Amino acid sequence: MKQFLVRRWFLLALACVLTIGFLFATQLQFLAGGETGRYARMAIVAGVLFLMSFPLGFGSFYESLRLPPALLATTVNYGLLPLVAWGLYFLVAPSIDQGLAIGILVAAATPSTLASAAVWTRRAGGNDTVALMVTVITNASCFIITPIWLFWMTGAEVQSLNMSSMIFKLLILVVLPMAFAQLLRRVGKVGSWASRQKTPMGVMAQWGVLSMIFLGSINAGAKIRESGVAASSLALDGAIMMATILGLHLAMLGVGHLLAYLLKMRRADRIAVGFSGSQKTLMVGLAIAVDDYSQFGLAVLPMVTFHVGQLLVDTVVADYLKRHEKPQDAG
């Protein structure tokens, strides 16, 4: 039982914060609304991005641009995946809540994960250096690429979007904390100390993620009450959204692996392209969904679904790939 709680505590806590946030949204609105809630969210996002990047040695950004697998995975993650999601949006948008539909696009436009893509790549026997480089490229450029995608995909529906404001926010909340963490790693023995603290910092970051999801669920619950939408209708919409999100993730995982195979990349690199090209980071998506799409309360749910889905599905995929690894592949 103890081992189960240690391995699954985040998913259990996630279910709790979502339930509490939705059920008691009216009573807890003071936490998430107004300027206080906005500044709290900004502090959480910046803090989590710092904690997640501080233990990781990113190395040279220039060197990452010289790795063909990393460039392929970046193209899938920041090019093909949003494009396919946009096509799916036109298919599902007439049938589901607009917030859920737009949330699919928000999730698709975010950068690759900071840690889990490398972890799952390593678990599957792949080249985790490639996955880490995709993290560097996509997160360092997210303050430009993510707003461009979102304005192309949602600008017609969301007239209130402010591109310069989104660019500035992502630069401050995502790029600067990561850059500061990497600069701090270069001071004396700070880098080696931070690497040894990967687990406690990871746990602290996960609590920050849960806090952000909690605030987002409060806003979502309040929007649901304001709209008066029936629970049965939302359940069906949610099922369609989840199928779309999981299908999108799995399709890109397979496409990334296939493209790398067609380009005759070695197995370890193909695995890295598959995972890093298909995964998305939760914190950036939540920050955008909660603040820039605040009128669509349910826009946070696709990002949460993407995160939980990739944790569950990619565990199975990684273990399958590892079981079918051949001796020459491991060498």
> What are the chain's domains?
34-321 (1.20.1530.20)
3-class SS of residue 120: helix
Q: What is the DSSP string of 303-325?
A: HHHHHHHHHHHHHHHHHHHHHT-
Write the single-letter amino acid at 41.
R
pLDDT higher than 60, residue 63? no
Residues 6+ positions from 296 with CB-CB distance below 8 Å: 98, 99, 102, 103, 223, 289
Taking residues 86-114, what's their average pLDDT? 93
- What is the Cα–Cα distance from 223 to 301, expressed in whole angstroms? 13
Task: Express each pLDDT in 244-300 by its tens digit.
Answer: 999 999 999 999 999 999 999 999 999 999 999 999 998 899 889 888 888 887 888
Residues 6+ positions from 264 with CB-CB distance below 8 Å: none
Task: Express each pLDDT in 135-169 by its tens digit.
Answer: 888 998 999 999 999 999 997 777 678 888 889 98
151-182 burial code (b ≥16 CB/10 A, e <16):
bebbeeebeeeeeeebbebbeebbbebbeebb
Residue 238 DSSP class = H
- What is the Cα–Cα distance from 50 to 61, expressed in whole angstroms? 18
3-class SS of residue 160: coil
**Residue 279 to residues 2, 135, 250, 308: CA-CA distances in angstroms?**
29, 10, 10, 11
**Residue 33 to residues 40, 158, 223, 274, 282: CA-CA distances in angstroms?**
10, 20, 12, 39, 21
pLDDT higher than 80, residue 67? no
